[in-house]
Amino acid sequence: MDLWNDVYSLHARNRRRRELLESLMDWRNAIGHQDFKPALKGQTTIHFNWCASEVVVTA
């Protein structure tokens, strides 16, 4: 069973939702292991613009 192709076919936004879910899992793992370099993926600043007010974290 190819789950993700079935999920993608249900709604056009599901591909982006999966990308966001993978990012969330990366951050969950980074917090749990206290190793933020993999989650940053080369970035040095993170903007959480989906929050009510923007939060900027600089590594």
Q: Which amino acid is at 30?
A: A
**What is the per-residue pLDDT across 4-52, written as a single tens digit (0 to 9) for each?**
899 999 999 999 999 888 888 888 888 888 887 777 777 766 666 555 5
Judged against a pLDDT cut of 80, whether residue 57 lies above it is answered with no
Q: How far is CA 31 from the centre of its chain?
A: 13
Q: Which amino acid is at 27?
A: W
What pTM, to 2 d.p., does this model score?
A: 0.61
Q: Give residue 44's domain range.
A: 3-58
Number of domains in the chain: 1
Are 45 and 59 a contacting pair, CB within 8 Å?
A: yes
Q: Residue 50 has which token pair? A: 């989906």
Q: List the one residue out of 19, 25, 20, 27 whose CA is nearest residue 43.
A: 27
